[in-house]
Amino acid sequence: MTDSSRDNLFSSPLGKVPSFVFDQAVVDVFPDMISRSVPGYETILAHTGELAERFVQANTHCYDLGCSLGASTIAVRQRIEGRGATIFAVDNSTAMLSKCQKILDARPDSTHVELVDSDICDIEISNASLVVMNFTLQFVPLAQRAALMEKIYQGLNPGGCVIISEKLSFEPESLNQLLSELHHGFKRAQGYSDLEISQKRDSIENVLVPETLDSHIQRLRACGFQSASPWFQCFNFCSLVAIK
Ligand code: GEK
């Protein structure tokens, strides 16, 4: 990795830390940022591919909601070749999508990927056998999350699968604190300084709003998902699978 693609966005004192946005500066360092910030990211991607292989049906739609640079799309695509599925990779950061397009163009594959520049709350979901939301729901305003999950449930075919990976919050606060400290220890071990960790935390405050595991499971059940469970957790990061 060249120095320019290493995430050092928060390494100098920023004074008043601006709210986090997915702009070009983030796009330029994104693979390094997410892999050094999210424990288990690579494991979650690999198993997103495995779940795709199990659940994606011929001639159906897959959705990668909040696709960023397409890492989940690529993990899915390489396991579903020849099924005639279409992957809709959706993001509302134009900077992310234009780099994502270049990455996908450099890796041709027979599965059609359509990039959609939109808020995931505004798209239509239909004929879906797989919906992936890897670390995206946490950025959707709380008040819109139930309607989004309901739309996903309605757009999934029976037997279809949704994968939701998220940062979690915990109760009581002492447990939240512990898991957050373990996460910060992970980031320190990945080379982030205390200043980077604390400025990033300030920047994502009120932008990334985590919920408890119970809140996620209850919302999934309220939509109609009878089968819903975490399949992976490391500290305060978790991935859930739910089947219609
Ligand atoms: C990966 N899934 O590498 N509508 C559309 N896109 C959104 C919205 C929204 N309402 N809110 C946020 N995003 C990826 C990683 S990153 C996670 C996902 C992270 C987009 C946002 O622009 C960004 O690209 C992505 O969701 C979240 O597997 O950075 O922690």
User: In terms of residue numbers, what domain contains 109?
Assistant: 41-169+207-243
Tell me the C-alpha distance between 94 and 98, whole Å.
6
Structural domains of the chain, count: 1
The alpha carbon of residue 75 and the mean position of all alpha carbons in its chain are separated, in whole angstroms, by: 13
Asked whether residue 174 is assigned to any structural domain, the reply reads: no
- CB of 134 closer than 6 A to ligand 1? yes
pTM above 0.95, yes or no: yes
- 3-class DSSP state of 203: helix
Residue 131: strand pairing partners: 63, 162
Would you say residue 222 has pLDDT above 60? yes
**pLDDT of res. 189:** 98
Between helix 41-55 and helix 24-37 the angle, nearest 10°, is: 90
Give a yes or no: residue 26 inside a domain.
no
Q: Is 203 in the pocket of ligand 1 (CB under 6 A)?
A: no
Structure tokens of 121?
A: 């709350």
Q: Is 8 within the bounds of a domain? A: no
Domain at 64, CATH number: 3.40.50.150
Q: Is residue 107 a part of any domain in this protein?
A: yes
Ligand 1 atom closest to Cα of residue 75: 28
Dump strand ranges (E) for 143-213. Answer: 156-167
Q: How far apart are CA 8 and CA 42, in angstroms?
A: 21
Mean pLDDT of the chain: 96
Answer yes or no: is the C-beta of 71 below 6 A from any ligand 1 atom.
Answer: yes
